[in-house]
Structure 1
Amino acid sequence: MKILVVGATGTLGRQIVRHALDNDYEVRCLVRNTGKASFLKEWGAELIVGDICKPETLPPALKEVDAVVDAATTRATSSLSIKQVDWQGKVNLIQATQEADIKRYIFFSIVNAKEFENVPLMNIKYCTELFLQESGLDYTIFQLAGFMQGLIPQYGIPILDNQPVWVSGENTPIAYMNTQDVAKFVINALEIPETNKQTFPIMGDRAWSGEEIIRLCERLSGKEAKVSRIPIGLLRFLRGFTRWFGWTLNASDRLAFAEVIAGGKPMNAPMDDVYEKLQVDRDDITKLEDYLEEYFTRIMKKVREIDLEQSKKKKKKKGSFFK
């Protein structure tokens, strides 16, 4: 089977590419910059230049493809808006898939998206779900909560660097999952006809609050976190303020997502049925405690090695002084 992965350089997309190649799939990646995606080519994927915001670039990428895995999303540093990429770009890709007579399409949404119509990204994700359901494609929609990889810059690095860890509102509990594990569900779905025209949650078995993650990081690192709290009212003010200026609309849309993170409604869902239908062994899924323990163990070992090397250099300098 030959698949087209869109958003292949992202946190999730690259894991899907890696897992697909490991399972002997032919993988083509739609990329805007081949230089930044060179590692995918080194892995064995085919690269083709294109952009979902430029529909005329999509037909060549879809030629002789059996399935589309759409992992693209707006980057925080992008000059394009959420609406341009996550709505119009996705509409372009879905329509191009239909025109190429490709039936299989996998899309990633967010759990609870239907309940936050005032949050642009959530509303767009839900609208895309509806658009796919009416498309006639053999879609599979995966509703995600959060990635363990995002916990490192949010909690791990600030705690190790003695920098503030920012939390807000009621700090919604989130059932994080390792992107490597998400990729297992995705590739299995391609081979299971019963996943066609179905929606599945993909998330960890337990939802963690920010406070629980901070305490875990403190225990694993041996350091005390500097916690700074942002009132949700301030975030709402900033969102309203940034909407006054055209060049800050994207920032405003991202601030709106704080309503989800600070809302207090857990981002989780039952997974028993999903494990069974997608034929994934629960014991093979990474636990958040194990993920963070591995990270801190590796980092603390590196820190000790650096300290030891610096200590040796100081001793050599002292020795040379008396010669």
Structure 2
Amino acid sequence: MILVTGATGGIGRKVVRLLRQQEKPVRAFVRLTSRYSELEHRGSEIFIGDLRREKDIQQACRGVQYIVSAHGSDSDALSLDYRANIELIDQAKANEVKHFVFISVLGADRGYEDAPVFKAKRAVEKYLEASGVNYTILRPAGLASNLLTLAERFRETGLYLLIGDPKNRTSILSTDDLAKMVVDSLTVEGARNQTLAVGGPEILLRGDIPQIFGRIFNKEPIVINPPLFAIDGLRSALGLFNAQTQKALGTYRTLLASEFFCTKEEIANLERIYSFKLETLENFVRRYLAV
């Protein structure tokens, strides 16, 4: 049995689909308010619970041989990105789980003090590495699926909002490729006990993205490029009313201000370990938006 947390999320849902296509037994950890009927229809065992509750995690882990941690934090990095994953690892040890796949974030090891998600992910990485449980830690760069809404808006208007430095480098990763790596990591020997930077096959400038959209939709991009301090002003204003949102925006600002890309050597290593060619951003957008 394979436990997948975050099973109704953008990554987790794809992971469950792939596992069920391979007729692997899956236990999907979902919230009562989430949309999980598709997963149930595909033959997944549905576990309704709350990752903030240790008892729910303990019950969900009973009888599993593999764990995939694919959940996000909903602005609660301490409870979900950190505590829930620590408990999952403890349960993996207690249940003698064969392999644990943890989806972290590229740059988790850079020491970003103002990014709670990055700090939580790094602490979990260290805990997992020292746990004695076989693991694969995947550190993805930006996901192509996160750009689909921007691509659809661009198709309608030609507008592209780019906050921060357009010269910052990035490696946009196909979300489908990440899901394949997650599933393959459960059995591929080359991924065992590895921490891997995961990105797409191209090192892009952030300013290249609207140009790619322009090529796809045959439109001249109109790029709106507000400075990064606009986010700082928003954080300060929100901090007067909601401290948790202010902290969450710290992670968002880190993502906008920094470079997140894989080297050519890291990309070649991924393709060697997982034995498939990574998908470009342009191909991903064309495929999803039927262009």
Q: Which residue of 2 aligns with 1:231?
A: 227
| Equivalence for 2:143 | 147
Alignment of 1:310-321 (within 5 A): none
Structure whose alpha-carbon radius of gyration is higher? 1
Segments of 5+ residues of structure 1 without an aligned counterpart are: 299-323
Does residue 1:275 correspond to 2:268, yes or no?
no
**One-letter amino acid of the structure 2 residue matched with residue 137 of structure 1:** V
Report the alpha carbon displacement of residue 163 of structure 1 after superposing the two structures with TM.
7.3
Report the aligned-residue RMSD: 2.1
Which moves more between the two structures, 268-277 or 196-205? 268-277
The CA deviation at 1:205 is 1.4
8 A contact 1:146–1:174 mirrored in 2? yes
Q: Is the 8 A contact 2:104 2:140 kept in 1?
A: yes
| CA distance in 1: counterparts of 2:249 and 2:88, whole angstroms | 23
The Cα shift of 1:14 comes to 0.9
SS in 1 for 2:131: coil
Residues 132-281 of structure 1: pairs in structure 2 closer than 5 A: 132-153=128-149, 155-162=150-157, 164-171=159-166, 172-245=168-241, 247-263=242-258, 265-269=259-263, 270-278=266-274, 280-281=275-276
- Tell me what 1:49 maps to: 48
Distance 1:295 1:21, change over 3 A: closer
SS at match of 1:257: helix
For 1:12, the equivalent position in structure 2 comes to 11
Whether the aligned pair in 1 keeps the contact of 2:118 and 2:251 (CA below 8 Å) is: no
Amino acid at match of 1:267: F
Alignment partners' CA distance in 2, 1:194 and 1:163: 43
Q: Give 1:145 shift.
A: 0.2
Aligned match of 1:291 in 277, 281, 284? 284
Change (3 A) 1:262 1:191: same
Q: Tell me the amino acid that sits aligned with residue 242 of structure 1.
A: L
Question: Which residue of the partner structure matches residue 318 of structure 1?
Answer: none
Counterpart code for 1:289: E
Deviation at 1:87, TM superposition (A): 1.2
SS at match of 2:104: strand
Q: For residues 230 and 255 of structure 1, do their structure 2 counterparts lie closer, same or farther at Cα, with a shift above 3 Å needed?
A: farther
- Pairwise CA distance, 1:97: 2.4
CA gap of 1:256–1:66, structure 2 versus 1, over 3 A, is closer
CA drift of 1:108 comes to 0.8
Change (3 A) 1:281 1:295: closer
Alpha-carbon distance between aligned partners in 2 of 1:120 and 1:22, rounded to the nearest angstrom: 35
Instruction: Give the match's secondary structure for 1:230.
Output: coil
Q: Report the equivalent of 2:105.
A: 110
Unmatched segments (≥5 aa) in structure 2:
none
Amino acid at match of 2:283: D
Secondary structure of the corresponding residue to residue 231 of structure 1:
coil
More helix per residue: 1 or 2? Answer: 1
Structure 2 CA distance, aligned partners of 1:204 and 1:35?
29
Give how far 1:166 is off: 1.9
How is 1:16-165 mapped onto 2 (pairs within 5 angstroms)? Answer: 16-33=15-32, 36-75=35-74, 81-115=76-110, 116-153=112-149, 155-162=150-157, 164-165=159-160
Percent identity, aligned pairs only, is: 24
Verify the 8 A CA contact 1:55 1:92 in the aligned structure 2.
yes
For these two proteins, the number of residue pairs brought into alignment is: 287
Change over 3 Å in CA distance of 1:266–1:105 after alignment to 2: closer
Tell me the alpha carbon deviations over residues 47-86 of structure 1, each in whole angstroms, 9 at most, x when there is no partner: 01122211111222112211000000123xxxx5222211
2:81 alignment partner AA: D
